[in-house]
Amino acid sequence: MSLLGRAPADDRSALVRFVTDQVAARLVEAIEQDETDRHDGIATSETPLTGDPRRQQLMVGAWLSEEIAGVNQDRMHRGDPSLSEMVDREIRARVVAELTGSGPLEPYMNDPQVEEIDVNSHLSTWVTYGDGRKIDVGALWDSSADLTAYQKRLARRMSGTGEGRLDTQSPMLTFQSDDGSRVVMVLGGRTEHGISTHPRIAIRRFVLRHEGLAGLARRGMFPDSMVPRLHAMIRCGFTVLVSGPPGAGKTTLLTELLGEVSPRERIITVEKNLLELRLEDDPRHPDAPALFTRHANAEGEGEIKTRQLVELTRRLNPDRVVVGELVEDEALDMLDVASMCKRGSLATIHAHTSDVVVQRLAYYVSKSDTSLPEFAVWSLIAQTVDFIVHIDLVRNEEGDSAPVRRVTSIIEIGGLGEHGGLATTEVWGLGHDGELVQQAPLSTRHLQRLRLSGYAPKLFAPTGAW
């Protein structure tokens, strides 16, 4: 039975919006009732409706049949024929995609080559592919109001897995979709009390390709000669930071470096709010429990911070602990746990150039614990971090073609410097031809560790040194 009035007569887009609104209203009502029943202890299902997409799909399918039957009844009363089978199928597909899938974004969310989707308004959506292509696919919604309605439906459906709802009290929302993508939504537009000129959505997809270091080399991220060297560095148990600007491929490189870890090792990942590494879904890691932080509830209770999870990992028998991305407090946590792991650690950190990474890391550590003297900060980094692998987006001279993801520098941490700070050496850097080449030998300390692990020091000798 119709909830909002009579259906449009002929406009197919308007008819889709009408049926979507009808079914969406029923879905929101069912979710709210489910939450009330859980609060009262009378829920009939163990899984909340917000976290049960299968149950949502079944309910939406049943309501769709009822709403379309109501539309056909209205049409008969007006003397119009019932909807054709083709139109009926189209409406059902579009409404199901809107309410239980990704709506107009569904084709791009299902494309394994798509890495980022940026909705700037109802008129403009940019899609970025893995090969660097960036395309504006144009208008995907009829109006700003339609895009806002889509945002709120998606937020309401996903409220059980994110930070909260999208409304005037909370005009920003971040959550993880069922396929692992990070979704950020911003409320905006003239009719909304938001924080932007238009409603906006930014989606970062984490596609698991499992192509290995050799696959990254084939894509031009680094020369083939680096594959056995990176393999040895990881197998030896060095602690490695992957640095770079946003979108440079830090998580991709980190995931493939972790792919070199022996399947016999137990890797525990600790991430902030969202699971991006997803090692549990990687067949190369049969023993890789994932942990993630949690926000406080509406009453301000139940928050779980990175520090608490790091403390927990010590009791979970790890060989390695990976603290995903180092932002603020995570830096100290990562250094702390890496120094106590059997096999070191790996992490990513934002930096536009390789020479600022250690300063940023030291800043994060000192900010996390202001009681640490400067010497202690540098000492902790020197004792823990072995290498920094910097990846960048390299553009050609014209700047119009897609940028290429390239490792442009690998820095060795060689202990404390003579006059404070760290002793660092850029072991690999870009040569005159723009290729990554070894420019200096490794320190005796690291060569000795490699030798003890069964790797010949000659593998890490600069060209012509042996």
Tell me the CATH number at 360: 3.40.50.300
157 shares a domain with 81: no
pLDDT bucket at 440, cuts 50 / 70 / 90: very high
Say if pTM beats, i.e. exceeds, 0.85.
no
Please report whether residue 70 resides in a domain.
Answer: yes
Most confident of 48-52, 180-184, 296-300, 345-349: 345-349
Torsion angle defined by CA atoms of residues 374, 377, 380 and 383, in that order, rounded to the nearest 10 degrees = -60
66 shares a domain with 196: no
| Token pair listed for 316 | 């979970």
| Nearest alpha carbon to residue 252 among 297, 313, 207, 196 | 207
pLDDT in tens, 215-247: 999 989 999 999 999 999 999 999 999 999 988
pLDDT for 185: 94
Q: Is the pLDDT of residue 294 over 50?
A: yes
Percent of the chain clearing pLDDT 70 (strictly above): 92
> Domain boundary at 100, 118, 137, which?
100
Please report whether residue 22 resides in a domain.
Answer: yes
Question: Coil, strand or helix: which one is 26?
Answer: helix
Q: List, in sequence order, every residue forming a beta bridge with 129; answer none if it has no partner.
A: 114
Residue 279 per-residue DSSP state: G
pLDDT in tens, 384-396: 899 999 999 887 6
| Nearest alpha carbon to residue 144 among 107, 188, 105 | 188
Cα angle 441, 445, 446; round to 5: 60
> Domain boundary at 50, 83, 100, which?
100
> Domain boundary at 207, 227, 246, which?
207
pLDDT for 2: 41
Q: How far apart are CA 414 and CA 429, in angstroms?
A: 17
Q: Is 330 left (phi over 0), alpha (psi -120 to 50) or beta?
A: alpha
Q: At which residue do the structure tokens 């992957």 appear?
A: 242
Contacts of 359 (CB under 8 A, 6+ apart): none
pLDDT for 1: 39
268 shares a domain with 179: no
Task: Render the burial of 87-112: b for 16+ CB within 10 Å, e for the rest.
Answer: ebeebbebbbbbbbbbbbbeebbeee
Please report whether residue 307 resides in a domain.
Answer: yes
Q: List, in sequence order, every residue forming a beta bridge with 196; answer none if it has no partner.
A: 188
Q: How far apart are CA 5 and CA 17, in angstroms?
A: 13
276 shares a domain with 375: yes
- Computed on alpha carbons and rounded to an integer, the radius of gyration of the chain in Å comes to 26
pLDDT (mean) for 75-82: 87
Give yes or no for a contact between 182 and 162, defined as CB atoms under 8 angstroms apart.
Answer: no
298 shares a domain with 317: yes
Task: Render the burial of 289-317: b for 16+ CB within 10 Å, e for the rest.
Answer: bbbbbeeeeeeeeeeeebbebbeebeeee
Please report whether residue 465 resides in a domain.
Answer: no
Sheet holding 320-323, edge to edge: 290-292, 267-271, 320-323
pLDDT (mean) for 26-53: 80
306 shares a domain with 169: no
Tell me the CATH number at 162: 3.30.450.370
Q: How far apart are CA 421 and CA 432, in angstroms?
A: 30
Q: Distance between terminal CA atoms of the chain?
A: 82
Residue 325 per-residue DSSP state: B
φ, ψ for residue 426, nearest 5 deg: -80, 100
Q: List, in sequence order, every residue forming a beta bridge with 142; answer none if it has no partner.
A: none
pLDDT (mean) for 75-100: 84
23 shares a domain with 115: no
85 shares a domain with 60: yes
144 shares a domain with 79: no
The rounded mean pLDDT for the chain is 85
Please report whether residue 466 resides in a domain.
Answer: no
Tallying the residues shown for the chain, one arrives at: 466
Q: How far apart are CA 406 and CA 69, in angstroms?
A: 57
Q: Total domain count for the chain?
A: 3
421 shares a domain with 361: yes
**CA-CA-CA-CA torsion sign (96, 100, 105, 107):** negative
Residue 328 CA to chain centroid, in angstroms?
Answer: 18
Residue 372 per-residue DSSP state: S
Q: At what angle do helices 330-338 and 374-384 cross, to 10 degrees?
A: 50
pLDDT bucket at 92, cuts 50 / 70 / 90: confident
Torsion angle defined by CA atoms of residues 92, 183, 165 and 148, in that order, rounded to the nearest 10 degrees = -60
119 shares a domain with 58: no
Q: Which domain covers residue 162, as residue numbers? A: 105-207
243 shares a domain with 137: no
